[in-house]
Amino acid sequence: MNDKDLTMTLIEARPAVKRESMHPSITAEQISQLVEQFYAQVQTNPRLAPLFSQNMSSDWGPHLEKMKGFWRSVLLKSGEYKGRPVPVHLQITDIRSEDFEEWLQLFSSVSERIFTCEAADVVNQAARRIATSLWLSRTSDPFASPPAWSQPVSAQNHPSAP
């Protein structure tokens, strides 16, 4: 076997990286519904609507397409989203912790209508995790505590629960 053949054999023998979706029942169609229904609600929310409209670099159409790609990347591991959400959100100077909390409540209520209970838990956990890192990226304090809303609602009601 020459060097080239050996290299090809080694490459083919590499285990394929398995990119599994976060829950087997989640479909791209559900993700489209999630994004469309969620941002329709955002646009009528008294606090969130102006935060978005004053800070968007495009119309809603391109934003929704980008967000569908983002959520397919997160939930289905499609790998298609190549953006950098942290700097985008850092530019929104008047965003408050309560705004993220409201964003999450709205998002969870929409996702619970679309996904199975188990899948909605997974989707909402992912949203909470990303929201927490977007919020914590705004502070330069390395010891900053995560906000209460970064915990599942059950843990927020029972802070001492294990």
Footprint of ligand HEM on this chain (CB under 6 A)?
Answer: 48, 51-52, 55-58, 63, 66, 70, 83, 85, 88-89, 92, 95, 99-100, 103, 127, 130-131, 134
Q: From 79, 83, 68, 80, select the one nearest 28 (Cα to Cα).
A: 68
Residue nearest to ligand HEM as judged by C-beta position? 83
- The CB-of-69 to ligand HEM minimum distance in angstroms stands at 9
Which residue number, 98 or 118, has a Cβ lying nearer to ligand HEM?
98
Q: From 49, 54, 84, select the one nearest 66 (Cα to Cα).
A: 84
User: Residue 47: what residue type?
Assistant: R
Which residue number, 9 or 43, has a Cβ lying nearer to ligand HEM?
43
Gap between the terminal Cα atoms of the chain? 58
Which residue number, 27 or 126, has a Cβ lying nearer to ligand HEM?
126
Let me know: does 111 contact 25? Beta carbons within 8 Å.
no
- The CB-of-63 to ligand HEM minimum distance in angstroms stands at 5
- The CB-of-137 to ligand HEM minimum distance in angstroms stands at 11
Q: What is the DSSP letter of 58?
A: S
Let me know: does 110 contact 34? Beta carbons within 8 Å.
yes
- The CB-of-35 to ligand HEM minimum distance in angstroms stands at 11
